[in-house]
Chains A and B, each alone.
Chain A
Amino acid sequence: MATTPDTSLAARARYEPVIGLEVHVQLLTASKIFCSCSTRFGDPPNTNVCPVCLGLPGALPVLNRKAVEFAVRAAMALNCRVNETSIFARKNYFYPDLPKGYQISQYDKPLAEFGWIEITTGTGRKKIGITRLHLEEDAGKSLHEGFPDSDQTTAIDLNRSGVPLIEIVSEPDIASPDEAYEYLTRLKEIILYTGVSDCNMEEGSLRCDANVSVRPRGQKEFGTKTEVKNVNSFRFIREALEYEIERHIGVIESGGKITQETRLYNANEGKTYGMRSKEQAHDYRYFPEPDLLPLVVDEKWQAEIRRMLPELPEARRKRMVADYGITEYDVQVLTSTQALADQFEAAAKAAKNPKRVANLVQSELMGRLKARGLEIEQSPISMKGVAMSADLVESGAISGKMLKDLYDLCFERGQDFPAVYEKEKPQQITDTSAIEKIINEVIAANPKQLEQYRGGKKTVIGFFVGQVMKASRGQANPQLVNELLAKKLES
């Protein structure tokens, strides 16, 4: 028996993992990459098919312009250099759900190269390089279960055959499973912002393979890598990588050698397993696809696509910190999804004082969410609700104390702010004499402002209104307050 591998912390500290990720993202085009069939997910099997995506004899591919635009948009968002000319290539292998016996992909002249994205690590910000981004077609799906004769045969659904994909290959810049997780999170976020994919992992519109090796710290050369496939969540990628790194170290520490191979991750067991070598002895025999002309995305087209590029998450976060005076942490939370950030910004902009909306989110909303262990998406109070409450405080209609109480009620009842406010809002004082009494007190207490007003600075009336509202705890009818104040001040 081999000596027990030393995978103690001390041993692990002697090694440094090197990770590179290959991410496949389905593009949200209405039709497939080389034919006009629909890309809709979930339709009955083999209904969105034609001679082209079925790989029938004689059929030929014609490139979907929209797929190119989406891929270029993603490439630009990932800071890639878009190659003016790229070449499609055939990747040859036999598989039942690959109708032509080759996949049309790109090989030595990909659509885009030399990109990067920034991630946050335990030790600060870090750039992860993106080697390349290329366009390719998806294969169909083998259905191994769900049919009466599934124990005997495999069925094939070719609806997915020919759905456009981009493959995004990272540099081996990722140094830990946590960084891999962060890279994927940021990558997904950017792609979502560009709108070219829904990145839905359950539906397979985002898939990830990981290449991992370890090397003694300080060594320049890479160790032998393994490729981990079949991982369907970011969390599992992290777990699979943790497992693989420990396994590599274990093998090396016990004097063994890592075999370069493809391994599948079994999420139930938390382990990876090597595929049979027969299944992975692939020589894809790439060669340029003679049925397609070289893809040319000239400067003019690139400029057009660049104009469609939305504000990206990092830029947006920087701007939001500046615009609303919120913290780095809160901006991360507020931009955790594009929809949330959009809601926040829409609400803030519509409110009288955008910064107050941001303040309320920070000071009142976040704490309550955290205390209850809720994600911001689960908040009973919507961004519109926050904006409304901010306006009420701004106008003096409610006090800070009342706002806190109302927020508590929202969380208790699981209702949004407008509903709770409508029910709980303070009864208005419409009694003229009661309001006049408050007005008299306020005027008496502020002779200086009275003098200003009488001296011609009519805007001071706003100050008095605020004071009266405050003194009435927001309960005075604002219209009456205005009328009576004006009369009183002019008299």
Chain B
Amino acid sequence: MRPKRTGFFSKFPKLLNGNLSLDMNLLTIDAARSAIQERTTAATSLAEWFYTMIEKSDPQIGAYLTLAKERALAKAAEMDALAAKGEELPPLGGVPVAVKDVMVTRGVRSTAGSKILGDYVPPYDCTAVARMEAAGAVVLGKTNCDEFAMGSSNENSAWCPVRNPRDLSRVPGGSSGGSAAAVAAGMAVAALGSDTGGSIRQPASFCGVVGLMPTYGRVSRYGLIAFASSLDHIGPLTKTVKDAALVLRTIAGRDPMDSTSAEVPVPDYVAELQKPVRGLKLGMAKEYFGEGLDGEVRSSVEAAIQKLAGLGCEIVPVSLPHTQYAIPTYYIVATAEASANLARFDGVRYGHRARDARTLSDMYRRSRDEGFGPEVKRRIMLGTYALSAGYYDAYYLKAQRVRTLLTRDFEEAFKKVDAIVTPTSPTAAFKLGEKVDDPLAMYLADIYTVTADLAGIPGISVPCGETKEKLPIGLQILGRHFDEATILRLAHAYEQAS
């Protein structure tokens, strides 16, 4: 059955003509779900339509690595059957979504952006993906990303870089660049990404979408191919803040398969959006507005903060004195954990194995040499070094101590304020190739985002204007542990007001 193209959906043919839609609010979760519920369109038709969009747009963008058509259409048909019976669809019923390739999907190739998992088909589903599907979401496919989520530009994907839908000469950010680009280019209504040092928020900011990193422990990591276990978070990339709330409500909550997932009740984030922001105290830390911050980004973010002040929020200066140590701390902790997490890719049981290796160590060496890209190798070496006998205390242990200090900075600040507002990234999207030869410059792209990962607090990036070159800018709002509701509420209020 073809969808009836009336009302809202009458806009679709225009899209089918091949223009990349940059209208962020074109199709939200609720709009898609209601259309299916009311049988204005069928979930299967919607999925097919998205696949057509992907076919047209993705060759230029490179957001998807693997499409899961069969699985998606089966889920969509299930939703159509529900709708046909007049039953109420689940909260994401029939909504086409994309999933970052670092999350495993049963029967659907999951490469984590790496050649070493080039033909890897997992036998089980990531909890977050399973929860999305249980809520009716139609998983269209797996999105491109930096290899093992290691990167800030998506140029470290072993397959192909992703291009920013706003400007194809620019990066979409990373490492969830594919998920951000898919949502921004209308190739998915929403997407799941993962954030270890900023990998949801920074690409969200670069592509002009909403990106939410929940509190550590809020969303199960089971089935997330680990980069740095104590820093990895799964979260949504969406067109609107409300959609982010909807997705978070779906994936949040204790999972017995992840010991680090917390037994903290999950509020109704959508309902919480309606609460007023008047009277909330917003912290502004000078450490986030210093050297290296692009002028246009600064003025947009400051204007956004003024807008929040106009909505009745009180702006309070706060200090986060250990911020300057965040990048080195991050790159020690993250790489140390990565060096162990990536040890399992040894060519023995699954993934790439070098041909004709003569000895065991030869097989290990060559499988890993051929399978891993240069940035992954660099981080494995950094991490191995940081954990080595004689260096452990000086690097890993010291980094853990600084991490504690950084966390305390936030705890102190949150005694005074309800949220902290910062730029998401010091610049808007940069050009492809601009930083590939300068890892340090690349690492500094995460300077405003790694702190929240290290402290385990939630953060959201919401679009707050554009540069003169029409590149999106993101406002980052950081919150207390398990207080996603407040930052979502602030982001929603800002979004509605702008």
Known: A56-B350, A291-B259; 19 extra A-B contacts, CB below 8 A, are: A54-B349, A56-B122, A56-B123, A57-B117, A57-B120, A58-B104, A58-B222, A59-B222, A60-B259, A63-B259, A90-B340, A96-B348, A99-B344, A100-B343, A283-B388, A283-B389, A285-B387, A287-B396, A292-B259
Interface 0/1 of B441-455, CB less than 8 Å to A: 000000000000000
Q: Tally the A-B contacts, defined by beta carbons under 8 Å.
A: 101
- A293 and B388: CB pair below 8 A? no
A55–B225 Cα distance when bound, in Å, is: 11
Residues on A with C-beta less than 8 A from B346 are 94, 96, 101
- Cβ distance A296 to chain B, nearest Cβ, rounded Å: 12
A62 partner, pick from B259, B343, B349, beta carbons under 8 A? B259
A290's contact among B223, B230, B256, B343, by CB below 8 Å, is which?
B230
A325 interfacial by beta-carbon distance below 8 Å = no
Assess the A58–B336 pair: CB atoms within 8 A.
Answer: no
13 contacts between A and B (CB under 8 A): A57-B117, A57-B225, A59-B223, A60-B258, A61-B259, A63-B259, A90-B340, A94-B343, A99-B349, A101-B344, A285-B388, A287-B337, A290-B337
Q: Which residue of A lies closest to B347 (CB)?
A: A96
- Which parts of B249-288 form the interface with A (CB within 8 Å)? 256-260
Decide if A62 touches B396 in the complex (CB within 8 Å). no
A99 to B257 CA separation, bound complex (whole angstroms): 19
**Contact at A51–B124, with CB atoms within 8 Å?**
yes
What's the interface size class on A, roughly? 20 to 34
Per the bound structure, the CA–CA distance linking A425 and B337 in Å amounts to 77
Interface centre among A60, A101, A291, A293 (most CB of B within 10 A): A60
Contact B384 A60 (CB under 8 A): no
**A60 to B112 alpha-carbon distance, docked (Å):** 17
Chain A residues with CB under 8 A of B396: 287
Closest 10 CB pairs of A and B: A101-B343, A290-B230, A285-B387, A290-B229, A58-B223, A57-B225, A58-B104, A283-B389, A55-B344, A100-B344
Report the nearest A residue to B368, measured CB to CB: A94
Q: Is the CB of B229 within 8 A of A291?
A: yes
B107 CB, min distance to chain A CBs, angstroms: 14
Contacts of B388 in A (CB 8 A): 283, 285
Q: At the interface, yes or no: B364 with Cβ under 8 Å from chain A?
A: yes
Closest Cβ of chain B: how far from A56's Cβ, in Å? Answer: 7
CA of A52 to CA of B275, assembled, Å: 42
Asked whether any CB of chain A lies closer than 8 Å to the CB of B200, the reply is: no
A63 CB to nearest B CB, Å? 7
- Interchain CA distance A58-B103 in the complex, whole Å: 7
Query: Which of B339, B348, B350 has most A Cβ within 10 Å?
Result: B348
Tell me, yes or no, whether A156 is within 8 Å of chain B by CB: yes
Q: Please report the C-alpha to C-alpha distance between residue A92 and residue B340 in the assembled complex, in whole angstroms.
A: 7
Does residue B224 face the partner (Cβ distance < 8 Å to A)? yes
Q: What distance in Å separates the Cβ of A54 from its nearest Cβ neighbour in chain B?
A: 7
CB distance from B60 to the nearest CB of A (A): 30
Q: A51-B123, A56-B122, A57-B104 are in contact. Are A156 and B392 (CB under 8 A)?
A: no
Chain A residues 34 to 86 lying within 8 A of chain B, measured CB to CB, are 51, 54-63
Q: Is the CB of B122 within 8 A of A287?
A: no
Enumerate chain B residues within 8 angstroms of A94, measured Cβ to Cβ. 343, 346, 364
C-beta contact mask, B203-231 vs A, less than 8 Å → 1, else 0?
Answer: 00000000000000000011111101110
Contacts of A60 in B (CB 8 A): 221-222, 257-260
Assembly CA distance A63 to B257 (angstroms): 10
Contact in complex: A58, B225 (CB < 8 Å): yes
Choice from B256, B258, B392 contacting A287 with Cβ under 8 Å? B392
B104 touches A285 (CB 8 A): no
Is B440 part of the binding interface, using a Cβ–Cβ cutoff of 8 Å?
A: no
Compute how far the CA of A54 lies from the CA of B124 in the bound complex, rounded to whole angstroms. 12
Residue of B nearest to A63 (CB): B259
Q: How far is the CA of A62 from the CA of B261 in the complex (A)?
A: 11
Per-residue CB proximity of A99-118 to B under 8 Å, as 1/0? 11110000000000000000
A287 touches B340 (CB 8 A): yes
Q: Specify which of A58, A99, A285 is in contact with B226 (CB 8 Å cutoff).
A: A58
Tell me the A120-155 residues at the B interface (CB within 8 Å). none
**Chain B residues near A96 (CB, 8 Å)?**
346, 348, 360
Query: Does B126 have its Cβ within 8 Å of any Cβ on chain A?
Result: yes
